[in-house]
Structure 1
């Protein structure tokens, strides 16, 4: 029998996730209070169109359901480490019910005019089953696909007359429509920084979106849009104030994204204005410096062998030694699985606690891609140069025989001077984007002895996905999912600020008196 003075913990606040990807925002919100008996948020609906991301979302939701129930069975770890098949995992008696529950709220569907009725029915059903009474608080999260907003996307389609009509420009309208229809107490919308300068038929996209989100239904529904990094009243905020530079908040990556925090007008009076707290940087070394060393495989694979690799490494060692005027180079790999000793203080401790799982016995998704011999040599040279310079070099730092044979390579003005980008040990990485699925030139490992691009797990570490997070699909699909996601640890920090905004911490503290 419960103590008569004990107040039951409030029910978790329902969350709907649109354009969910592999679940970055989803993971952050779901993790608030998850290690206690009082989780703050409950994911009741995730909507995503890409099948591999849906499979990843479903698996991760299953993992969280099992975790909240008390313990994740060994079958999960056996599956992600490749010891059992997916069928064996899904048929495990400890998994079946959790998997069914996950499939019930993860939906593979493309949001748009053709699916509105179906989406609305699923959202209405999810909310009616989760809300204790009409008008209770719930949260909407997500971000429309960003290809049409991004600078890279626009540069590729400069002369494309259909670009202005690209439906990706207007997918935010689905997000807006759902806000208008279902009136969340709070919404969190994410998008790329390039949206600030994006225009469509002469109209600035960001300002238009901001106006729409502030007044989804001007007569009956209004929202106050807040920044999570600038402590100013909404009316005084500038467009740049909505950009979160992730590296300032303990994320080992220079990722700058727009985050809009919307508070329904009738909820505003019972909220506080809060912002994220800056920390010391978490570096590439802090993130991936403990992962086991890997060598690149040589492409084509018919040419790959330990002997061929040793010869390549010897050739690069000799040439780098000559350019440095020393023989003391490329002696041992930088990474050997030892613990990282960073100087980021609490931020590093928090990061490590977030990503680590002692039940992971072997690193998941940590296989190197294959690279052509010429690229392997370039990677080795540029990584060595990065260590010498303390920053990523340009391709012009390559020896003449390794400079790419491009038509405009000798021009005074050469595009893509940083086509080959080495990640630097003692700084946050450059932005991990979906292009990492195409090639590894922008993501060269900082250890000059490994001469390769990053693995999926290394990219996931920089994106702050926990080591027990498994990405379904081919390696290309895995890279694509990682690059498209919101860093889950950043999502957790945002979710914690939503908790403070809604004064949930105070309410929970009061309930314990």
Structure 2
């Protein structure tokens, strides 16, 4: 029996299963702690399995989605874990029958400078990666699609994949998937337009088997905010090759995102997202000795305290089905030990970045020198005493480099994009409340990504920050998943009376 006939029969059995009322089963590749997984589960999908290389993120994923099942908490390298291995280890059954939807996104380095002819070669010749190992992760992702034969594929990545060294990676992915019988489209979506308190912009690609869909729809925006200039600039750069027609081939599969307009609900602000959480006054904790250097663990609960009026967003974060807040409070509301900077944080104005922080710090140094003179202590610039004082007050970073390394959030605006770099220092998200004078806590970072309060992060503070920064916001994922499951159901119903839909690749 030919491969094409076997594929057709596999797809037909999956459609028949869904027609019988079963949930679509999801495999999350490069899953992290589970932002995509959580959104798809909330939209009605069954989370069957995940592959994640980082041990802390893999354990977080297992603890949240398959508690008590150790096999689902194991870190797995997609380079060495083949589809058959995964199916056997997790008891998924026959590979081709096990999964209906694959979500995830290979790191963009996997595609660097690997041109469209090269991708075709990789797809056709499994040993081609030996000649260009940068393509290996793409090959493994593609091998999972080939093995599991999903009805739907979702890929997420940074906007730069549309202009990655002169390449449009999303277009190339679509071309390969289309050769396999999928209808494919991609666009850029901003999480703030979907109820996430963060102006996070990412590329999303959706592909459907032709047997269940003749079009690809992206979710309609539900919220509106005027995006900061930098975001429109990054979108323009990402789309430049498309607009100028300079890419290798046409961008046939790009589609404009659904429009967000001022008539929609205002975007969720940082204060609406964080305002109900217990305050942490860093300077007071430093003086009392309660805040010290060392690993921050999550085993000490912090009660929410009295809060007369919760925002709709805060209420959702506390009551998300299956991930409700714990009665004893939060166990991961912990912050970084940054004793040099707390006073400086208190001085910053909303929206201030590192150049403004650097100026404030120099003002503080001048004030301190003047205060000492008033006490009869004279310190002059260039002396060892002056340098020691300067080191205690002024951050050492070059003011002319990385101006957005620091940023104090605005209470009345969504936060800027959270990155995995949160695992390093957190200066990109300084709390808007000057009285608290600190960077955001682990739980606050989770709130800004739309992880509910009952979601568990394995490890200590730095790994948790990294997991959160790397994740797809669950509410963004839920918006995509809700649209996808609607299209799946429509396609399944249409197939009851139409043996071979017009968009299908029929044999």
Distance of aligned partners of 1:30 and 1:144 in 2 relative to their CA distance in 1, 3 Å threshold = same
CA distance in structure 2 between the aligned counterparts of 1:407 and 1:419, rounded to whole angstroms: 9
**1:277 aligned onto 2:221:** yes
Distance 1:352 1:296 in 2: 24
Task: Verify: 1:28 aligned to 2:39, yes or no.
Answer: yes
Contact residue 60 and residue 470 of structure 1 kept, 8 A: yes
> Is this contact kept in 1: 2:33–2:60, CA < 8 A?
yes
1:137-216 correspondence to structure 2 within 5 Å? 138-146=100-108, 170-199=136-165, 203-204=166-167, 207-216=168-177
Q: Is the 8 A contact 2:87 2:93 kept in 1?
A: no
Aligned-partner Cα distance in 2 for 1:336–1:420: 30
CA contact (8 A) 1:226 1:260 kept: yes
Q: Provide the rounded CA distance (Å) in 1 between the counterparts of 2:305 and 2:353.
A: 23
CA distance in 1, matches of 2:76, 2:150: 21
| Structure 2 CA distance for partners of 1:367 and 1:208, relative to 1, 3 Å | closer
Aligned-pair CA distance for 1:431: 0.8
SS at structure 2 position matched to 1:210: helix
**Pairwise CA RMSD:** 3.7
In the TM superposition, residue 472 of structure 1 has moved relative to its aligned partner by: 0.7
Name the structure 2 match of 1:249: 194
**Could you tell me how far apart the structure 2 residues matched to 1:126 and 1:23 are?**
17
Are residues 1:121 and 2:85 paired?
Answer: yes
1:226 to 185, 190, 205: 185
Judge conservation of contact 1:395–1:419 (CA < 8 Å) in 2. Answer: no
In the TM superposition, what are the counterparts of 1:59-458 in structure 2 within 5 Å? Answer: 59-63=63-67, 99-100=68-69, 103-112=70-79, 115=80, 118-123=82-87, 129=93, 138-146=100-108, 170-199=136-165, 203-204=166-167, 207-216=168-177, 218=179, 221-227=180-186, 242-269=187-214, 273-279=217-223, 280-296=266-282, 304-306=286-288, 338-340=307-309, 342=311, 353-354=319-320, 357-372=324-339, 374-382=340-348, 385-386=349-350, 394-400=356-362, 401=364, 404=394, 406=396, 408-409=398-399, 414-458=400-444
Deviations 1:360-400 (A, max 9, x none): 3212200222112x311111111xx22xx799983355152
Residue-by-residue CA offset, 1:85-121 (whole Å, 9 max, x unaligned): xxxxxxxxxxxxxx13xx3445421112xx25x4333
Q: Any idea what the Cα deviations from partners look like across 1:267-325, whole Å, max 9, x if unmatched?
A: 224x6735333322011111110001112269xx9xx433999xxxxxxxxxxxxxxxx
How many residue pairs are counted as aligned between the two chains? Answer: 377
Q: CA deviation at 1:445?
A: 0.7
Give me the whole-angstrom Cα distance separating, in 2, the residues matched to 1:381 and 1:459.
22
Deviations along 1:460-510, one digit per CA (max 9) or x if unpaired, are: 0001111011111121111111111111121111111111121359959x9
Distance in 2, Cα, partners of 1:214 & 1:261: 12
SS of 2:93 mapped into structure 1: helix
CA–CA separation in structure 2 for the residues paired with 1:408 and 1:212: 40
- What secondary structure, in the 3-state scheme, does the structure 2 residue paired with 1:261 have? strand
Q: Find the aligned partners of 1:167 and 1:366 in 2 and give their Cα distance.
A: 41
For residues 132 and 423 of structure 2, the distance between their equivalents in structure 1, rounded to whole angstroms, comes to: 23
Question: In structure 2, what is the equivalent of residue 19 of structure 1?
Answer: 30
Q: 1:468 to 1:188 in 2, by over 3 A?
A: same
Query: CA deviation digits over 1:53-87, x for unaligned, max 9?
Result: 11111110235xxxxxxxxxxxxxxxxxxxxxxxx
Q: Gaps spanning 5+ residues in structure 2: where? A: 1-17, 113-130, 224-265, 292-303, 366-392, 497-507
- 2:466 corresponds, among 480, 484, 488, to 480
Residue among 36, 41, 47 paired with 1:43: 47
Show structure 1 runs of 5+ residues with no match: 1-6, 33-39, 64-98, 151-164, 228-241, 310-334
